Structure 1
Amino acid sequence: MTRINTNVSSLVAQNRLQTSNNDLQTSLTRLSTGLRINSGSDDPAGLLASEALRSEITGLTKSISNTQRASQIISTADSALGQVSNLLNDIKGLVVEAGNSGALSDDEIAANQLQIDSSLEAINRIAQTTTFQGRKLLDGSQDFVSTVGSVSSVKDASIDQAKLGKTGKIDVSVDITSAAEKASVSISSDAFNAADIDPEATNNVATKTIDISVGGETVTITGNADFASLTITEDNALGGTATAVNTAGAIEITFDGDSNPSAVSDVLTALNNIEGIVATSDGDGTGTVVTGDAAVSANTADGTDVGLKVTGDGLDDITINYTAGTDADVVADFDEDTNTLTVALGTTTSNNSLSNIKSKIDALDDLSSEIVDDAGDALTGFDDLTVSATDLPDEATGTATKAGLKDDLVFQLNGADGAETFNFGAGTSLEQIKSAINLVSDSTGVSAEGTTELTLSSDAYGSDALVNVDVISEGDDGAFETSLSATRATGVDIKASINGVEASGQGNSFSINTATLDLALTVDEGSSTDFTFSITGGGATFQLGPGVNSQQQASLGIGSVSTGQLGGVSGRLYELGSGQAKSLTSDVSGAADVINEVISKVAQTRGRLGSFQSTTLESNLVSLNETKANLQEAESTIRDADFAQESANLTRAQILVQSGTNVLSLANQNPQNVLSLLR
């Protein structure tokens, strides 16, 4: 019995010693590696969680590196753009200086032009040499590729960001619901005395009339001065038609009066086919001509004169000369210095109708005409009357009443660019008012146009455009203020949607900024044409998150800053170079418009890149670092060993091993003692 108890005690002591040894080994391993989980058997669930967190931490670590790299690329581009901005400001200074042409010699302007040429070369060089690890940043290779260049109505486009997704393409549909409008104020013709020339300037071309009774209708025939007589005869072989000829001023009408008689309309057609003849009926032309039914009035008579009355805006008098021309068509020419209108008739007589002569006169600046009778009253139905040079007077003169203000006027005109005060006396013509306003349109931003009424329109489009007319004083007989359509008007911005998203409009430009597309477009002035295009690739794509998908990427377009690409609606930067359309010796004002637009565009690009760097990259970097720190802490909590706890466990295990060894030693001594006693 004693032996059995001794064996049991020894086995228990051995088991305890083994357990203590295992605990001691585990503590030593954890303390040596610093990890609580060294194998899957240590904590299977904890190992799974730890490995998942380690994967996320790895992705975050690389995302942080990617974000830092992206920020360095943006800084590189911004640094180069800063130098471009400096060069553009230098160019602007030279352009402004060139505007002082009264104080600069030709040599000085030429020297400034050489400096501009040098700056343009430097800008092109920056565009080609700004690189990051061999990748060019400002030559346009980092811009988006699209088909917007094929849209004729688009004058400028900027694609700042686009997420192309798995398809690598975005189709863009633009729907313009209403076009941009200028600001406009009109002054009706009531503000002016009417322009006119007395009837002495009427050129009479038709002076004979005769009435005949045909088919129960009265037909009135009007012809040129050489129209002397008329006869009408019957020819039953005409088969229900009618003919008419003019032989040396004698008109002969032939009709069919048998069972298939001519109609009045047939007679009218035949007469109107004669050059210089106009025939009308007081009926509907359905009456039929039968034998004995046609009666010719006994005598022809001088009838109502038919001619052209010419009026001109702001003319004191006018001289009108008619000649036999050498061109097939009518040619009209007006000499403003002598107030002489010359009308050369065409060699093709069918072109010499009153309507055609009238159209040629109306096409001239500040002249208009109408077909009138000898009292100056307008006539209808004589447009196709064809005349010859012998039918027109060699010269017609007349005096004119100017279209001018009814009384003295002082008003201030305000536009988006500035204000100007105008002082006009009674009788000032509309043309003179237009000239005065247009002379300073570059400083007010308002232009004037019109022939019978005055229209003041802003040069710009959109809500920033302004026309404001403030009448300071006007004589008692004046009607300028009461003829204003409005005293103040503003323009209207374009309204459009892009892919169904309502765009923000300003003038003829509009833009959207969504999670997938940041786009700005400028269309032709006043355009309302819808269009589509596609973004098919390009752009600089930055991986900003641990997941490789479009939601954790940012695609940024960086356009070219070469002189051939920098610019907008006013023109391109290269046009400021020597020999180009907007050089200092060609168009200083145009050069100023271009350089202002380019400076603004480069500044916007720098602002966009800076915003991307500060708001997207830097905030993303802070967020990634904080997330990484939290995940590392979580992973450490799961996997890392607690040194204090493990040290205590080691000490405890060491004590248990030591005590277990002693107990086992004592347990092993008892059998030996028994054996000693037996011996």
Structure 2
Amino acid sequence: MTRINTNVSSLVAQNRLQSSNADLQKSLTRLSTGLRINSGSDDPAGLLASEALRSEITGLTKSISNTQRASQIISTADSALGQVSNLLNDVRGLIVEAGNSGALSSDEIAANQLQIDSSLEAINRIAQTTTFQGRKLLDGSQDYVSTVGSVSSIKDASIDQAKLGTTGKIDVSVDIKKAAEKASVDIASDAFNAADIDPTSNSEVAINELDITVGGEVITVRGNADLLASVEIEANNSLDAVAAVKAGSESGDIVIEVDGDTNASDVDDVLAALNGIDGLEATTAGAGTGAATAAVAQVTASAGDAANIEVTGDGLDSVTVNYVVGTDAAASAAFDADTNTVTVSLGTDADANTLSNIKTAITASDASISADIVDAAGDTTAANDSITISTTDLPAEATATKVTAGLKDDLVFQLSGTDGAETFNFGAGTTLDQIKSAVNLVSDATGVEASGTTSLTFTSSAYGTDALVSIDVISEGDDGAFSDSLSATRAVGKDIEASVNGVKASGNGNSLSINTSTLDLSLTVDEGSSTDFSFSITGGGATFQLGPAVNSTQQASLGIGSVSTGKLGGASGRLYELGSGQAKSLTNDVIGAGKIIDEVISKVVGARGRLGSFQSTTLESNLVSLNDTKANLQEAESSIRDADFAQESANLTRAQILVQSGTNVLSLANQNPQNVLSLLR
């Protein structure tokens, strides 16, 4: 019994010793590797979680290096663009200096031009030599490839960012809902007096009346003497049973061509051809069915008959009718009761100047007068109604006097526009044309232009809400009506309203832009254009992988356009045009050169700002975010997989004590049988 107990004690001690040795071995392994999980058997679930975290950490590590590389590329491009900006500023200074042509000699201006040429060469050189690991950055190779150049209504385009996705293409559709507008202020004609008009009085129109025989019928033709001298019939068998006025004979000696073969023209065809001539009236008492032939002899009319506008009124002994050249399309009339004079302003539309229309205008001008159309004998006849008075051939002895408009009283006003303000001082009687000339003379300083014939319109040169026309009337005489005739004292333009692929675009004058997660672009269309258009972006751009997963949401695409002199520019022109012999050189157009350089500087500064914004807000923030995420994932992975040295050290000490204790117990257990045997001996 004692031996059995001894063996059991020894076995237990051995088992405890083995367990303690295993714990000691694990603790030693964990302390030596620093890992809590050294094999799948240590913690299967923990191993899976740890490996997943390690994979994410690896992707984050590469994303961080990608972001740092992208930032280095952007810094390289920005540094080169900074040098381009310096050169452009130097060019602008030279242009401003060349504007002082009154103080600079031609040799000095030529020297400035040479310096500009050198700067343009330097800009082209920078565009070609700015590289990163052999990849050119500013020559346009990093810009997007698109069909925007095929749209005729686009004056300038910039595609800053586009995600092409799996299809590798974006179709862009632009719907212009409202075109951009200029600022405009109207001054009605009430602001001006009509100038004195005193043409010779004569209301008679000399007419001819002649009879010709066609197809056995007599055709009576009436018309202005200058329009109707004779009528002749000629054969033209290719007309296919119609009649026509021979080319070049619409006035004076009129020739009517008729079809004389088996498909002969008839009298009605000749009547239609004659009545198709403005100012002529042809009639016949016959049936109009007789066949027209070319055998009719030429008939010459006798001049001297006249049609007259006869004006009468209650209590009036006589009324004078004066003809002048008007500015409206229709004929109009005005009656002056003080002088018993009717002034007829002929219309700019020739068809509007018939005696019938003039009669109507006179009758409508004043209720106290009436008008009739009479012939030389004083008889009223409808045959004269369609006779037309030409603005280039007024009645005999009448003088064509153009109506001019003048201010009713002295006027001083300040005109302000987008570019500046000017004060104008005009005296009473200053004509509308004189005001227009004065305003347009300084339009480059104010940004406001003047136009109009019977009224005046001030219009901004620019488009959009930044465009301004403001009129401040400083003083005006008591009889003046300028202030009261203003449609407004201040007006602004309207920006273009459009959508791009259904997204409402921001408008600025004739320019529109959108910035979404997939597309960032700006376009400038023709002035006042309302034409819809579309184009496609088919590739290009610089794509940067900024996230641990390879998909479009974790990539950033950026377009870096060319800064060569042939590409830099805007609506006013391209930078190369500032070179020697070009359209905007210092000797050819220094003002145009100034406009181009301002647009180019704005575009380069905008490109630098866009790159800087991408670097600071996208790349640097992404770098911070990636580093924070990586640190958190590393901490999580460490908490799962790494060994706790304090805990493992304690475990090791405990295991060592247990091993030592087990060894001692086992030693004692092994000594008991020996002691028993020694007693037995």
Taking the aligned partners of 2:244 and 2:184, their CA distance within structure 1 comes to 57
Match of 2:262 in 1: none
Match of 2:431 in 1: 429
Q: How far is the alpha carbon of 1:660 from its aligned partner?
A: 0.7
Give the residue type in structure 1 aligned to 2:58.
Answer: T
Matching residue within 628, 633, 636 for 1:634: 636
Could you say what secondary structure the match of 1:25 adopts? helix
Give the residue type in structure 2 aligned to 1:494.
Answer: I
Taking the aligned partners of 1:674 and 1:71, their CA distance within structure 2 comes to 85
Q: How far is the alpha carbon of 1:264 from its aligned partner?
A: 9.5
- Once the two structures are overlaid, the 10-residue window that deviates more, 194-203 or 11-20, is 194-203
Q: Is the 8 A contact 2:207 2:303 kept in 1?
A: no
Q: How far is the alpha carbon of 1:269 from its aligned partner?
A: 2.7
Whether 1:404 aligns to 2:397 is no
Give the residue type in structure 1 aligned to 2:476.
Answer: E
Taking the aligned partners of 2:253 and 2:520, their CA distance within structure 1 comes to 80
1:413-472 deviation digits (Å, cap 9, x = unpaired): 111111111111122121111110000001110001122221111000000111111222
Q: How far is the alpha carbon of 1:381 from its aligned partner?
A: 4.3
RMSD: 4.3
CA separation of 1:375 and 1:210: change in aligned 2, threshold 3 A: farther
Q: How far is the alpha carbon of 1:304 from its aligned partner?
A: 2.0
Match of 1:108 in 2: 108
Whether 1:184 aligns to 2:184 is yes
CA separation of 1:287 and 1:646: change in aligned 2, threshold 3 A: same
State the TM-score, normalizing by the size of structure 1. Answer: 0.79
CA separation of 1:153 and 1:545: change in aligned 2, threshold 3 A: same
CA separation of 1:384 and 1:54: change in aligned 2, threshold 3 A: farther
Whether 1:222 aligns to 2:223 is yes
Taking the aligned partners of 2:325 and 2:506, their CA distance within structure 1 comes to 48
Q: How far is the alpha carbon of 1:156 from its aligned partner?
A: 0.8
Q: How far is the alpha carbon of 1:675 from its aligned partner?
A: 2.7
Taking the aligned partners of 1:33 and 1:603, their CA distance within structure 2 comes to 56
CA separation of 1:610 and 1:395: change in aligned 2, threshold 3 A: farther
Match of 2:566 in 1: 564
CA separation of 1:369 and 1:396: change in aligned 2, threshold 3 A: farther
Q: Is the 8 A contact 1:202 1:374 kept in 2?
A: no
* Residue pairs, 1:250-329, within 5 angstroms: 268-269=271-272, 271-272=274-275, 278-279=280-281, 302-304=305-307, 311=325
Give the residue type in structure 2 aligned to 1:604.
Answer: G
Q: Is the 8 A contact 2:145 2:540 kept in 1?
A: yes
Taking the aligned partners of 1:418 and 1:590, their CA distance within structure 2 comes to 18
Q: How far is the alpha carbon of 1:71 from its aligned partner?
A: 0.9
Taking the aligned partners of 1:510 and 1:417, their CA distance within structure 2 comes to 22
Taking the aligned partners of 1:228 and 1:522, their CA distance within structure 2 comes to 59
Match of 2:645 in 1: 643
Q: How far is the alpha carbon of 1:676 from its aligned partner?
A: 2.8
Q: Is the 8 A contact 1:165 1:550 kept in 2?
A: yes
Match of 1:123 in 2: 123
CA separation of 1:6 and 1:203: change in aligned 2, threshold 3 A: farther
Could you say what secondary structure the match of 1:633 adopts? helix
Q: How far is the alpha carbon of 1:569 from its aligned partner?
A: 0.3
Structure 1 unpaired stretches of 5+: 213-217, 231-239, 254-261, 291-298, 314-357
CA separation of 1:522 and 1:675: change in aligned 2, threshold 3 A: same
Taking the aligned partners of 1:243 and 1:163, their CA distance within structure 2 comes to 66
Taking the aligned partners of 2:594 and 2:521, their CA distance within structure 1 comes to 27
Q: Is the 8 A contact 1:304 1:374 kept in 2?
A: no
CA separation of 1:229 and 1:575: change in aligned 2, threshold 3 A: closer
CA separation of 1:201 and 1:442: change in aligned 2, threshold 3 A: farther
CA separation of 1:229 and 1:177: change in aligned 2, threshold 3 A: closer
Whether 1:15 aligns to 2:18 is no
Match of 1:599 in 2: 601
Q: How far is the alpha carbon of 1:406 from its aligned partner?
A: 2.3
Taking the aligned partners of 2:253 and 2:445, their CA distance within structure 1 comes to 67
Taking the aligned partners of 1:676 and 1:286, their CA distance within structure 2 comes to 172
Could you say what secondary structure the match of 2:10 adopts? helix
CA separation of 1:460 and 1:663: change in aligned 2, threshold 3 A: same
Percent identity for Structure 1 against Structure 2? 76
Match of 1:502 in 2: 504
1:292-317 deviation digits (Å, cap 9, x = unpaired): xxxxxxx99722279x977489xxxx
Taking the aligned partners of 1:60 and 1:553, their CA distance within structure 2 comes to 14
Q: How far is the alpha carbon of 1:205 from its aligned partner?
A: 7.6
Matched residue count: 598
Q: Is the 8 A contact 1:196 1:311 kept in 2?
A: no
Whether 1:88 aligns to 2:91 is no
1:225-253 deviation digits (Å, cap 9, x = unpaired): 797999xxxxxxxxx9999999xx999x9
Taking the aligned partners of 2:245 and 2:94, their CA distance within structure 1 comes to 77
Q: How far is the alpha carbon of 1:209 from its aligned partner?
A: 4.8
Match of 2:157 in 1: 157
Could you say what secondary structure the match of 1:174 adopts? strand
Taking the aligned partners of 2:167 and 2:563, their CA distance within structure 1 comes to 29
CA separation of 1:28 and 1:243: change in aligned 2, threshold 3 A: closer
Q: How far is the alpha carbon of 1:263 from its aligned partner?
A: 11
